[in-house]
A and B are shown apart, each in its own frame.
Chain A
Amino acid sequence: MDAVLETRNLRKHFGALAVANDVSLTVDRGARHALIGPNGAGKTTLVNLLTGALAPNAGRVILEGVDITGEPQHRRVARGLARTFQVNQLFPGMTPLESVALSVAQRRGTTGRWWPRLARDGEAIDEAAELLDRLRLLDCAHEPTKTLPYGRQRMLEIALALALQPRVLLLDEPAAGVPEDESVELYATLAELPETVAVLLIEHDMDLVFRFARHITVLVAGSVLVEGSPEEISADVRVREVYLGEADHG
């Protein structure tokens, strides 16, 4: 199993508060890797460190053998690292087709060109439409994003990332806030993700985690507590303590 994304001794602190403590994490090719932990454990921070939205105080981030620690966000995306956000980051006034077409255009590197007509790039729009179709969003392709129900917006969030044809996909709590009846589609979409894409999933929804993940890392207070297969993790006493303890305090 070779690693497609790894961090080595990643550290980040805000003043006295350490949000990432010597985090060494490995995501293998084609992985279905979940990152779990109580609130405030630093999971989203880690994603931000991986994507370059945050710069670490120490440690390295390595993508496909290349040290990308100093690289800006857009360079990392070009290398095949894409993410979704915990809180939807969409384009409220644009339609899903326009949004995904933008993502496709960005991947193809045409967003710097102001002379060609977007509408003439049939291939890009076609690709966008196909992706929407796959995620069952085609019927609302021309409605402004802000008018869509939350579940579909969440799917669009994933579509935007998929349009980038990433090698590594970081999903930040994709199920967050999605109502029961719409979560079936979400689960199906996640199950249909191509095997070539390595997926790092941050989730609180244990159902989804155990259904989806083949490997789990538990993060607590910025440090890796334990990692292993789903069976190992669910049997681990320390993990139970962390979650039970959390349940105790509500």
Chain B
Amino acid sequence: MTMDHKLRYAPEVDRLKATASWRLSEVGFWLLTIAAYFLLPRQLVLLSRVAVMGLFALSLDLILGYAGIISLGHAAFFGLGGYAAGILAQHGWGEPLSGLVVAGMIAALLGFATSFLVLRGSDLTRLMVTLGICLMLFEVANKLRSLTGGTDGLQGVSLWPILGIWSFDLYGRTAYGYSIIVLFLIFLLVRRVIHSPYGLALRGIKENQRRMHALGTPVARRLVVAYTMAAGLAGVAGALLTQTTQFVSLDVLSFEKSAEVLLIVVLGGSGTLYGGLIGSLALIVAQYLLSGISPEYWQFWIGIAFIALVFLARGGLMGLARGALALLHARWHGSEIPSGG
């Protein structure tokens, strides 16, 4: 290609490049997370949970929003990672970072092993397999009381200071910093993946698998990688939860947990990188503000939320925000409202 030739299509190349560049709002978001450390010192325990669930949701969005795999049992990997980290710490190895890595790898292994099941068959089979594996793991954990502590949860989980310097404190300061940094680093990784040729292929698989086959993509191979990665990241999230709360119990493997993370992703807006993070913030803050109400009430309104999302706001909060921005943009410039994408 001559220099002239390249220049000819430079505007196209630049435009595509622009979709991958950092927006001001993104930078603002991450600066806010740093600010929260100083501005909300008494909410850091809560915010740590937001970060953890946000990471969990990010991992689900990788396969849901980008590869198009609906999983009803993503908590299997979350819980597996959580217990891996917990059991490790309980048995004397309380080093946090290596705990994360081990948990992630174990969860990724399970993800890899089950990915072949998930790829076979229809949507229904996929739902069943993902649900079934999660329930299976729950049963196993339930029965292996000596290892997992059963319904009482794992006791005696104590973590060493991070890098030997920062120990976990009661106010959650270390926990928050730890969670946010892990979240941010993994976020960067996922962001990189999304904007890579592989990420584009994943999107292609979600939009039209048949076409991808006809383009010569080994679709199954690509999906296995995505699923394994998502499982590993979910495992890291689970481990993070265990380490920051020094506790893990069966609910990390429950169907309710799988449904919760699904809700978070859709609430925030699937396929938007930030959807999981926004959704996590929204849901957990709502949970906190409404903590006085009875569990049945909460569950009922969660159910209604699911239904409402389907009919009113399928793009989730990010979709609503985009719509609002587009509206404002149009009003400001007095132009046609662009058709939704």
Contacts and interface: CB of A to CB of B under 8 A. Distances in A.
Direct contact between A and B in the complex (CB less than 8 angstroms)? Answer: yes
Interface in A131-153: 133, 138, 141-142, 144, 147
A111 B200 contact: yes
A48 to B, nearest CB: 10
Nearest to B210: A89
Nearest to A116: B196
B1 interface: yes
A224 interface: no
A164 to B, nearest CB: 7
B20 A111 contact: no
Interface residues of B, number: 39
Contacts of B1: 123, 126
B28 interface: no
Contacts of A122: 6, 13
B196 A117 contact: yes
B40 interface: no
Given A118-B196, A122-B6, A160 B215 contact: yes
B9 A90 contact: no
Contacts of A92: 207-208
Contacts of B192: 114-115, 117
A74 interface: yes
Given A74-B213, A105-B200, A91 B207 contact: yes
Contacts of B339: 147
B222 interface: yes
A106 interface: yes
Interface stretch (A30-38, A93-101, A233-241): A93-101
B16 A114 contact: no
A250 interface: no
Interface in B184-233: 192-193, 195-201, 203-204, 207-208, 210-211, 213-219, 221-222, 225
Contacts of B197: 102, 105, 110-114, 116, 118, 121, 124
A106 B198 contact: no
Nearest to A120: B17
Contact of A118 (B15, B200, B215, B218): B200
A95 B32 CA distance: 33
A103 interface: yes
Nearest to A166: B216
Interface in B103-135: none
Contacts of B19: 119
Contacts of B210: 85, 89
A77 B198 contact: no
A97 B211 contact: no
Contact of B6 (A97, A103, A126): A126
A231 interface: no
Given A111-B197, A113-B196, A147-B339, A125 B222 contact: no
Contacts of A101: 16, 200
Contacts of B20: 117-119
A171 to B, nearest CB: 12
A182 to B, nearest CB: 21
A130 interface: yes
Given A73-B214, A74-B217, A112-B222, A93 B13 contact: no
Interface of A: 51, 53, 72-78, 82-83, 85, 89-94, 97-99, 101-103, 105-107, 110-119, 121-126, 128-130, 133, 138, 141-142, 144, 147, 160-161, 164
13 contacts: A75-B216, A89-B210, A91-B211, A111-B201, A111-B217, A114-B193, A115-B192, A116-B196, A117-B20, A118-B196, A121-B197, A128-B12, A144-B341
